[in-house]
């Protein structure tokens, strides 16, 4: 399957361990020497409409990606602590 980097942007990322939605792909990291993608990046959520900055970005190594679908990317990684706490609180 061929996929452009632009096609990856804005795909929803879901953790297969607990079903937590981590966010949407915002950027990728690339190894320019080998020409391979090394990780995907999900920008941190805005704090108070961006006035208080952002939460930490989520960086997911390429090896943790299990499936890239049409709308969703499934990853096998640990959800960041702040997302895990929200899932326990509301789920």
- What's 59's domain CATH number? 2.30.30.240
Other beta carbons within 10 angstroms of residue 16's beta carbon come to 13
Whether the CB-CB separation of 54 and 32 falls below 8 Å is answered with: no
- In this predicted model, what pLDDT tens digit does every residue of 18-59 receive, in sequence order? 888 999 999 999 999 998 999 999 988 777 876 787 788 899
Domain hosting 50: range is 5-90
Number of domains comprising the chain: 1
The reply to whether the predicted model has a pTM over 0.75 is yes
CA 55 to chain centroid: 13
């Amino acid at each position: 399957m061929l996929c452009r980097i632009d096609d990856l942007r804005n795909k929803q990322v879901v953790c297969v361990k607990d079903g937590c939605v981590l966010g949407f792909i915002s950027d990728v990291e690339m190894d320019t020497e080998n020409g391979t993608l090394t990780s995907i990046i999900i920008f941190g959520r805005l704090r108070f409409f961006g006035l208080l900055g952002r939460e930490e970005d989520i960086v997911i190594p390429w090896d943790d990606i299990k499936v890239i679908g049409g709308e969703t990317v499934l990853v096998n990684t640990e959800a960041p602590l702040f997302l895990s706490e929200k899932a326990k609180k509301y789920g």
